[in-house]
Amino acid sequence: LAIAREASQAKSDFLSTMSHDIRTPMNAIIGMTELALSDLSDREQIHESFTTIKSSSAHLISIINDILDISRIESGKAEMLQEQFSSREEHQKIVKRIAPLAEAKGLVFTHSLDIRHDCCIGDVARLNRVVDNLLSNAIKFTPEGGRVELRVEEIAPVKAPDAVRYRFIVS
């Protein structure tokens, strides 16, 4: 009975946190839409508004995907995909998604990629969600004028000598 209560409380806490996390990008989307519509002749403001709407929408879909992942994990239906991808290309995609968020908050965003092997096999969508989540939290909790850094480095494999491991450092 105590375990069931703890599980119920954990779900309530999770839903409360997720509701708050969902409201933040939704408020940005609504606010920027209103701002863009308030003066249709100000092309610069419209462009800036749509840029923020786009990044907030991407953040919102990431939150929704996290919720769906948790649901799949609880039901035992989560599967890790095994698809080929380029680490360098994915790194650039992450940078393109995150840099505008950091810039909009007045942060300096730096990144580095130190790898020898570019071709990987794994669940690139889940990897991106984890890295995006870490970076968006870093941006969210770093005060204006601060800096956020992403470093990706290749490290020695533990078990299989033909495997590649990467370390992702967000600071």
| Residue 3 confidence (pLDDT) | 85
| Residue 61 confidence (pLDDT) | 86
| Residue 19 confidence (pLDDT) | 77
| Residue 107 confidence (pLDDT) | 96
CA distance 74 to 10: 13
| Residue 162 confidence (pLDDT) | 78
Sequence-distant (≥ 6) Cβ neighbours of residue 161 within 8 angstroms = none
Closest CA to 86 of 121, 62, 52: 121
Report yes or no: 91 and 124 within 8 Å, Cβ to Cβ. Answer: no
Per-residue pLDDT of the chain (171 residues; tens, 9 = 90+): 888 888 788 777 777 777 777 887 888 888 889 989 999 999 999 998 998 888 888 878 878 877 777 777 777 777 778 899 999 999 998 998 889 889 989 999 999 999 998 998 888 888 888 898 899 889 989 999 999 999 999 998 888 877 888 999 999
Between CA 8 and CA 123, with CA 62 as vertex, the angle to 5 degrees is 100
| Residue 41 confidence (pLDDT) | 93
In three state form, how does the secondary structure of 3-68 look?
Answer: HHHHHHHHHHHHHHHHHHHHHHHHHHHHHHHHHHHHCCCCHHHHHHHHHHHHHHHHHHHHHHHHHH
Between CA 166 and CA 171, with CA 168 as vertex, the angle to 5 degrees is 160
Helix, strand, or coil (residue 88):
helix
| Residue 123 confidence (pLDDT) | 86
Query: What backbone phi and psi angles, to 5 degrees, belong to 38?
Result: -70, -30
Q: Kindly report the pTM of this predicted structure.
A: 0.62
